[in-house]
């Protein structure tokens, strides 16, 4: 930890306030797909979920199951998707990911606001 002083910013009184810089080790993820952020926006009588996903490479026909949070951390409740500009069936989204930042938008069938969990479905070749 290193400390420096910023003379332009003032804390309480007239003393300069210390700026503490934390140097953290860079953690490299071994995952190909990382979910960055989920934002919920009210739309009419429902909520739109806007999920930002970062992919290290281009992926075709990616599938995610959508689960909603509950008080019981062990349970995963499924709620069907109501609207999505792509392929979906029940609580499963299908889409292609480009390399870099991707964004998907969808609404759920019940019209309530939830904390959500996306789980990637791995598809194995049947050859």
8 Å CB contact between 109 and 68:
no
94 vs 107: CA distance, rounded Å: 14
Other C-beta atoms within 10 Å of 102: how many?
A: 18
Whether this prediction's pTM lies above 0.85 is answered by no
Task: Write out pLDDT tens, residues 52-101.
Answer: 999 999 999 999 998 887 655 555 688 889 999 889 999 999 999 999 99
**Domain map (residue ranges) of the chain:** 33-121
The fold of the 33-121 domain, in CATH, is Immunoglobulin-like (2.60.40)
Q: What's the angle, vertex CA 123, arms to CA 120 and CA 124, rounded to 5?
A: 145
């Amino acid at each position: 930890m290193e400390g420096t002083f910023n003379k332009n910013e003032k804390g309480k009184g007239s003393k300069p306030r210390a700026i503490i810089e934390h140097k953290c080790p860079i953690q490299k993820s071994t995952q190909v797909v990382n979910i960055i952020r989920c934002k919920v926006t009210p739309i009419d009588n429902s909520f739109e979920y806007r999920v930002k996903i970062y992919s290290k490479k281009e992926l075709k026909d990616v599938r995610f199951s959508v689960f909603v949070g509950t008080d019981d951390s062990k349970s995963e409740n499924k709620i069907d998707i109501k609207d999505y500009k792509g392929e979906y069936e029940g609580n499963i989204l299908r889409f292609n990911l480009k390399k870099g930042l991707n964004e998907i938008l969808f609404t759920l069938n019940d019209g309530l606001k939830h904390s959500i969990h996306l789980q990637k479905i791995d598809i194995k070749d049947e050859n």
